[in-house]
Amino acid sequence: MEGALLLAGRIHRHVVEWRARRPALVQPWAIPLRAAKGSPGAQPNGRVALMRLLILGGTEFVGRAVTEEGLARDWDVTVFHRGRHDALPGAAVLRGDRTEDGGLAALEEGEWDVVLDTWSGAPTAVRDAARLLKGRVGRYVYVSSGSVYRHPRAAGVGEDAPLVDGSADAGQVEYAQDKRGGELAAVEAFGDAALLVRAGLILGPWENIGRLPWWLLRLERGGPVLAPGPRDLPLQYIDVRDLAVWSLDAAERGLGGAHNLVSRSGHATMGSLLEACARVTGSDAELRWTDPETILEAGVEPWTQLPVWVPPGDLHTTLHQGGVDKAFAAGLRCRPVEETVADTWEWLKSRGRVAPQRPDRPRVGLDPETEVRVLG
Ligand SMILES: NC(=O)c1ccc[n+]([C@@H]2O[C@H](COP(=O)([O-])OP(=O)(O)OC[C@H]3O[C@@H](n4cnc5c(N)ncnc54)[C@H](OP(=O)(O)O)[C@@H]3O)[C@@H](O)[C@H]2O)c1
């Protein structure tokens, strides 16, 4: 109760200060988002003091990183969620369930410069939120996915690659169609002010799929490790914190449209990833590089049983060779794989080596018996 009162007071104070600072505005988002150097309200870095960011979600992995980044910028951050996960201290909280009738009631009032939506289920949930917020939010950032492209996707092709079908009015079907439907829902309500962040594989602290955590724990266990080759197989992924930085920068600058958000292919390789895992865990592991044919003949599933890895071929081209020039031209920076691995390890250790697991995603990793069998 006391916490709720404190929070209400904080929100009210923010609103009052915000209005006092910008009395002449018709629409809060109609102002230039960066104050000129030396002008009233400008910080030394040229940013205006306050952007109001609403995150639909915001407490697990991607949304959590965006919340953290928003708070680090001194933005006014609000998260909307059911309350099954803890919100970060410093973020205002609105509660509701997007799958229930009337579940968006807490969003019926309020204005924000940017909303970021992390939804990956039925497109109707994005549609309903976007429609409700239209006219009260400047920009709708939808965390989409490279899965919206038809498979196979040619190497290096950008955002013009053919897409799967989807509908803003659809219930939950398959992941790819759901994500495409979510994109259409955001565009339907916000037009050019919808920013579609087509993320590829996402790694980093708070990962709740278990891919990098599995490799880290496997390398820490040591001994002979089934290392899926070739060792120089190029990888493409994004550190969740780089996604957060780019998305908020892009939203602040008023960017819209679809952007593939992932590193350049070869930013890391299977070798550099696993060797970084071995280094940070202080492992005595012996990486036994194994050719793809041996692994596939043994019935081992790429991507799920050996996370991140897919053999060279169509699937690798689709998942690890997307075109990313547009996002890089719009400022994307990707930190080195060593940093992603080291920070994820520190985080995992701080949690007693137990990674969170999304209940709606399959567990990843290979059992020790199968590994021994494949290694012979
Ligand atoms: N992992 C990858 O490699 C990858 C790759 C490409 C794209 N993506 C995309 O990245 C996004 C991942 O986002 P995330 O899950 O990490 O985001 P997140 O915002 O950190 O977590 C999901 C949030 O949704 C809230 N939530 C869940 N069900 C809800 C409901 N019914 N009503 C209201 N709130 C609800 C959860 O809080 P409560 O539980 O407290 O309600 C939580 O805050 C997805 O859109 C996914 O498609 C992921």
12 or 302: which leads in pLDDT: 302
List of residues 6+ apart from 327 with CB closer than 8 A: 246, 259, 260, 261, 262
Closest ligand 1 atom to Cα of 237: 3
Query: pLDDT tens digit string along 199-228?
Result: 999 999 999 999 999 999 999 999 999 999
Query: pLDDT tens digit string along 182-195?
Result: 999 999 999 999 99
Q: What is the structure's pLDDT at 15? A: 32
Q: What is the structure's pLDDT at 187? A: 99
Reported as a pLDDT band with limits 50, 70 and 90, residue 34 is: very low
| pLDDT > 70? residue 177 | yes
- Percent of the chain residues past pLDDT 90, beyond the cut: 87
Dist. CA 60 → ligand 1 center (Å): 7
Q: What is the structure's pLDDT at 251? A: 98
Q: What is the structure's pLDDT at 209? A: 98
| pLDDT > 50? residue 342 | yes
Cβ(81) to ligand 1 under 6 A? yes
Helix, strand or coil for residue 207? coil
| Ligand 1 atom 2 nearest Cα | 202
Dist. CA 211 → ligand 1 center (Å): 16
Cβ(278) to ligand 1 under 6 A? no
Closest ligand 1 atom to Cα of 206: 16
Query: pLDDT tens digit string along 303-324?
Result: 999 999 999 999 999 999 999 9
In 3D space, the residue among 156, 155, 158, 183 whose CA is nearest the CA of residue 170 turns out to be: 183
Q: Candidates 3.40.225.10, 3.30.465.10, 3.40.50.720, 3.40.50.300; correct CATH number of 2-23+45-199?
A: 3.40.50.720
Dist. CA 31 → ligand 1 center (Å): 31
Distance CA 356, CA 42 (A): 40
| pLDDT > 80? residue 234 | yes
Q: What is the structure's pLDDT at 46? A: 54
| Ligand 1 atom 22 nearest Cα | 57
Helix (H) / strand (E) containing 187: helix 175-190
Cβ(209) to ligand 1 under 6 A? yes
| pLDDT > 90? residue 48 | no
Domain residue ranges of the chain, discontinuous segments joined by +: 2-23+45-199, 211-235+265-322+338-375
Distance CA 50, CA 114 (A): 12
Classify the phi-psi angles of 102: left when phi > 0, otherwise alpha if psi is within -120 to 50, otherwise beta. Answer: left
The 3-class SS string of 312-351 reads: CCHHHHHHHCCCCHHHHHCCCCCCCHHHHHHHHHHHHHHC
Q: Ligand 1 pocket test: pick from 82, 149, 364 the residue with the most ligand atoms within 8 Å of its Cβ.
A: 82
Task: Indicate the pTM of the whole model.
Answer: 0.90
CB-based contact 230:312 (threshold 8 Å): yes
CATH architecture for the domain at 211-235+265-322+338-375: Alpha-Beta Complex (3.90)
Compute the 3-state secondary structure of the chain and give helix, strand, coil in percent, each to the nearest 5: 40, 20, 45
Query: pLDDT tens digit string along 248-262?
Result: 999 999 999 999 999
Q: What is the structure's pLDDT at 52? A: 98
Helix axes 337-350, 211-221, angle to 10 degrees: 80
Cβ(238) to ligand 1 under 6 A? no
List of residues 6+ apart from 321 with CB closer than 8 A: 155, 156, 234, 236, 265
